[in-house]
Amino acid sequence: MTNNRPAGSHRPAAAVAAPLPTAALPWRLLSLALAALLALVGVLAMPRAASAAELDAIKTVTITEPRDEVHLWESLRIEATWAVPDGSRAGDTFTLAFPQSPRVTGFATTFDLKTPEGAVVGTCDVTQDGFACTLSPYVETATNVHGTLYFWAQVDDVGEGGTFAFVTGNDMVIKVPVPGGGVIPGEGWSAPEQPLKNGWVSTDGRTAVWDVFVPSEFLAAAAGGPVVVTDTYDPRLTMRDDSLVVGYVALADWDDGDFSDDAVWLERGTGYVYTPDVAGSSFDLTFVDPVTDGSRMYMVRYEMTLPAGVRDGDTFGNQIAGSTGWDDQRVLEYAGAGGDGDGDGNGELRLTKRVTGDGAASVPAGTEFTVEYTTERDGRTASGSLTVTDGATVSLPGLAAGTVVTLSEVSPAAIDGVTWGAPVFSGEGVTTVEGGAQVTVGEEGVVEVALENPATPVVPPATVPPVTEPPGETPSVAVVPPTEPPAARPTATGGALATTGATVGVLAGAAALLLGTGLTLVALRRRGAAS
């Protein structure tokens, strides 16, 4: 590192230290050693997260199909028994690697190991090289956990000797005799004389592979034009258009079926025309200018995706047909895998739901309620949830005697017109705890718990209807008598007095008096004239 301090600058004081006295050195070294020891003890005392363990669980391996002899490329059904030690934990695994000579390749798949009651003990993944099973929390609340499993594999080479050597995860070798004493090499096969359909499941466990062989004379054009080859397959399968290959091999180069180096592959559009059906369960092939003198074997290979959820024993049909009347068909059977598990002293909790109260009729049928649970035994816990409907019973299997189960219900979903009351757990041995209930699994194994949800109808508030007038009647109108306006205050204008209401009254009285006097005089005059 470059020193950028100017020349002649002082050395930092912290870098200058007086030498320790010789007598102090042993104590100094002792202090350092003690500090290091305490640090090491602290590290060792720190809690460590539990890690999954590889268990020596595989006990036996047996080939159950075929029983008499094994041929190259033949499929084997392999069965095994297993048992894990008490105290195993969720996440622990047990594995088995497949033989390398003779080589065995597994058909990939995944399956659960279940008890007769349906509890999952573990999950197994089969690959082309072996299988691995991972244990579930079931093993933490059970003892003497054991079971069986089976799977399918394919023999890929002849190898040496008459023994299949399987290897466990703990490097224990399990030797299994090859039925018949050794793998029999392929003897080849003659070119078919009729159109032939064939199929199998790939070792990836997801693909159906189909082969079609058509002797060239069956492609001779008919009166209506070239022969159209139609392939019709199970609609549950999905065609992989890009997997289609079409070609031919001269019969002179057939070589008992070992013709791969001599095959000629055709280009789409120039060598053949591929027309898939819009419905998705068939396609047509038309060969462009095929040789039809019987000297060639035309070949078609393609792949299809198996449906999700395919199970052991499922079958899929496929038919090939020529427009001149020939056909052939095959049924492919899926060979899956499976297994089981069980344990001693396992109990079961059965939870029954009831919706009660005057509002129960307003709760839609099929409404789901969720109950969360936690199990505890010997300091080990597991948790999960159960879903139940009114009147139904759900089970929580795989509970060993002495397991404490704590239950709490998630607040039910709001429903119009209903008010939920507090949930009520009941049953023999059920005790109330904060937020729910608790029960302990006994030696009898089965615990019955009832869960009641009171439902009260919501009463709408009372309303007063508006008052309306009867039709045909007109409401009366109040007559308000006119009122005299207030008298205006006299105001002087131009030196004259303003005319007031009193003045008008005097003038009106005088006018009335004069009028009365005049009328009287007229009447007297008429009377005098008459006399």
Q: Let me know: does 151 contact 106? Beta carbons within 8 Å.
A: yes
Q: Which fold has domain 345-457?
A: Immunoglobulin-like (2.60.40)
pLDDT value for 115: 86
Pick the CATH number of 58-184 from 2.60.40.1280, 3.40.50.920, 2.30.42.10, 2.90.10.10: 2.60.40.1280
- For residue 443, the SS3 value is coil
* pLDDT tens digit sequence for 395-416: 998 787 788 999 999 999 999 9
Q: What residues pair up with 385 in beta bridges, in sequence order? A: 372
- For residue 374, the SS3 value is strand
- Are both 58-184 and 345-457 of the same fold? yes
* pLDDT tens digit sequence for 51-77: 689 999 999 999 999 999 999 999 999
Q: Which fold has domain 196-333?
A: Immunoglobulin-like (2.60.40)
- For residue 331, the SS3 value is strand
Mean pLDDT computed over every residue of the chain: 82
pLDDT at 279 > cutoff 90:
no
pLDDT value for 482: 52
Distance, CA of 258 to CA of 124 (rounded, Å):
37
Q: Cα Rg for the chain, rounded, in angstroms?
A: 51
pLDDT value for 278: 86
Q: Let me know: does 340 contact 148? Beta carbons within 8 Å.
A: yes
Distance, CA of 75 to CA of 205 (rounded, Å):
13
Give the start-to-end residue ranges of the domains of the chain: 58-184, 196-333, 345-457
Cβ-proximal residues to 401 (8 Å cutoff; 6+ apart), any chain = 345, 347, 441, 442, 443, 445
Closest CA relative to residue 177, chosen from 166, 189, 188: 166
Q: What residues pair up with 368 in beta bridges, in sequence order? A: 389
H/E segment holding residue 133: strand 130-135
Chain centroid to CA 243: how far?
30
Amino acid identity, position 491: T
Of the pLDDT bands very low, low, confident and very high (cuts 50, 70, 90), residue 444 is: low
Mean pLDDT of 413-441: 94
- The residue to which tokens 């075929």 are assigned: 66
